Amino acid sequence: MSNTDAHFQQLFQPKSQVNKDEENPTQLANRLTPTDDQIKNWLQSPQIKQWLTKLLMGIPNNLKTEAINTIIKNVIQNPDKDCRVQFGSSTIGVDVLRWQLWASYKLPYASGIKTPDCPYTLKKHLDTPD
């Protein structure tokens, strides 16, 4: 086997599973530890509802609300674990390391998939004066 072949083999070796905590210690140290009420208020905020209404065309708003309620329940039960809810070809989830909501959905009449992050994070929600 030539040197090139050996290098090619190394490129596609499965990487060992990296503990998320070790991956970015700075981000982990700065991670928010919100209360259940803070999580609930953030995910039920008008800003989140508005973001979801603009996204995921073709999905009824009641399904979006149900997905958010499921995410709230699951994240409150286990705040150290990301959560996602899938319906059809669309998914809504929350990244608990960054406390950011995200969506993934197929564009109507197109072959592409959109995966935007919600700009209204938990940190922004907590920093916003009431």
What are the phi and psi torsion angles at 98 (to 5°)?
-100, -10
Residue 19 three-state SS: coil
Q: Closest Cα partner for 44 from 8, 111, 4, 94?
A: 94
Count up the domains in the chain and report the number.
1
Domain assignment of residue 117, yes or no: yes
pLDDT attached to residue 106: 78
∠70-119-52 over CA atoms, to 5°? 45
pLDDT-derived band at 15 (thresholds 50, 70, 90) equals very low
* pTM confidence score: 0.71
pLDDT of the residue at 22: 47
88, part of any domain: yes
Cα radius of gyration (the chain)? 19
53 inside domain: yes
**Residue range of the domain that includes 73:** 34-125
Is 27 inside a domain boundary?
no
